[in-house]
């Protein structure tokens, strides 16, 4: 199955009623979680500002007619919410504050949304793949090896490796263009590991997964890289994660079907 056919079939399945219904779960749950996180963070931020003080001193020198220089010094102190008033008082500080809040906030929200939806989709993967199996692979038997303990172990391990990568790649964050790759590499690692594990552990044995990953590792990495780039579109991950499972599910199930068919033919001939 070529990629155009795979994408077309996955999109058609995604737009069916059963899959659309499932797609609302990560959207609603993630929005609620992000809503709670936003207001909690905002409350903490405002509370911390209320306990802070900014002291601003400025001086202005003027030359008198007799040649003497007069220096006038002014001092202003801002407490708590007055700090916000000070930041918004001048156009430059207002612009900088708005830029930092929206830029940093957008990055944090995007990272959280990807992370949260990946966790949520792990619980929905068997349901999604069962729909795909009944529609296209009715003779394919699922022999998944996934369990709650394995999911927790893989998730913790992947998060740990991601954090290590973030630390190791710190020197590259200060190099233009390269810093974009360095920043996204740990996130892509987590994205790739969790999505692949969700699908693989649901439909096949460990031995089959080792064989297919060894034989088609570049193909599956290319697919998850494509999906990761798509997920960088702001907030698209909130409702497209189900499509990722459908797309990867088709890719793995078609390869698994070929593997089992070839294995059965070899058993018959032998």
DSSP string, 41-69: HHHHHHHHHHT-EEEEEEEEEEE-TTS-E
Shortest CA distance to 24 belongs to which of 112, 96, 128?
128
The helix or strand, by DSSP H or E, that contains position 78, with its residue range, turns out to be strand 69-79
Q: What is the pLDDT of residue 74?
A: 56
Q: What is the pLDDT of residue 80?
A: 45
Q: Confidence class of residue 245 from pLDDT cuts 50, 70 and 90?
A: very high
Q: What is the pLDDT of residue 129?
A: 94
CB 238 within 8 A of CB 113: yes
% of the chain residues with pLDDT over 90: 26
Rg (CA), the chain: 27
Shortest CA distance to 187 belongs to which of 267, 98, 115?
115
Residue 134 lies in a domain: yes
Residue 67 lies in a domain: no
Distance, in Å, from the CA atom of 153 to the CA atom of 190, rounded to the nearest integer, reads 13
Q: Residues 77-130: pLDDT tens digits?
A: 444 444 455 455 555 455 555 555 555 555 666 666 777 777 888 888 999 999
For residue 220, the enclosing domain spans 3-37+112-265
Residue 203 lies in a domain: yes
Residue 71 lies in a domain: no
Distance, in Å, from the CA atom of 92 to the CA atom of 99, rounded to the nearest integer, reads 11
Q: What is the pLDDT of residue 225?
A: 92
Residue 179 lies in a domain: yes
CB 194 within 8 A of CB 158: yes
CB 143 within 8 A of CB 207: no
Distance, in Å, from the CA atom of 61 to the CA atom of 56, rounded to the nearest integer, reads 17
Residue 44 lies in a domain: no
% of the chain residues with pLDDT over 70: 67
Distance, in Å, from the CA atom of 92 to the CA atom of 54, rounded to the nearest integer, reads 17
Q: Residues 182-233: pLDDT tens digits?
A: 888 988 999 999 999 999 999 999 999 999 988 888 899 999 999 998 887 7
Q: What is the pLDDT of residue 136?
A: 92
Residue 26 lies in a domain: yes
Residue 147 lies in a domain: yes
Among 25-39, 151-165, 219-233, whose mean pLDDT is lowest? 25-39
State pTM to two decimals.
0.73
Q: What is the pLDDT of residue 160?
A: 92
Q: How many CB atoms lie within 10 A of CB 103?
A: 10
The number of domains in the chain is 1
Statement: residue 161 has pLDDT above 70: yes
């Amino acid at each position: 199955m070529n990629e155009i056919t795979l994408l077309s079939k996955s999109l058609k399945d995604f737009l069916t009623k059963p899959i659309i219904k499932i797609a609302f779960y990560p959207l609603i749950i993630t929005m609620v979680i992000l809503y709670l996180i936003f207001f909690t963070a905002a409350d903490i931020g405002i509370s911390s500002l209320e306990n802070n003080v900014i002291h601003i001193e400025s001086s202005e020198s003027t030359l008198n007619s007799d040649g003497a220089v007069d220096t006038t010094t002014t001092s202003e102190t801002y407490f708590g919410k007055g700090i916000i008033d000070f930041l918004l008082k001048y156009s430059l500080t207002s612009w900088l504050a708005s830029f930092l809040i929206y830029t940093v906030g957008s990055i944090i929200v995007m990272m959280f949304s990807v992370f949260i939806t990946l966790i949520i989709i792990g619980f929905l993967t068997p349901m999604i793949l069962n729909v795909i199996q009944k529609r296209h692979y009715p003779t394919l038997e699922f022999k998944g090896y996934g369990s709650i303990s394995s999911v927790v172990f893989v998730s913790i391990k992947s998060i740990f490796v991601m954090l290590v990568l973030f630390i190791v790649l710190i020197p590259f964050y200060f190099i233009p263009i390269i810093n974009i790759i360095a920043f996204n590499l740990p996130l892509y690692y987590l994205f790739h590991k969790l999505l692949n594990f969700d699908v693989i552990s649901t439909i096949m044995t460990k031995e089959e997964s080792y064989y297919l990953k060894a034989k088609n590792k570049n193909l599956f990495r290319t697919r998850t890289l494509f999906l990761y780039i798509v997920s960088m579109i702001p907030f698209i991950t909130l409702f497209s994660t189900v499509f990722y499972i459908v797309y990867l599910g088709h890719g793995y199930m078609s390869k698994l079907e070929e593997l089992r068919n070839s294995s059965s033919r070899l058993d018959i001939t032998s």
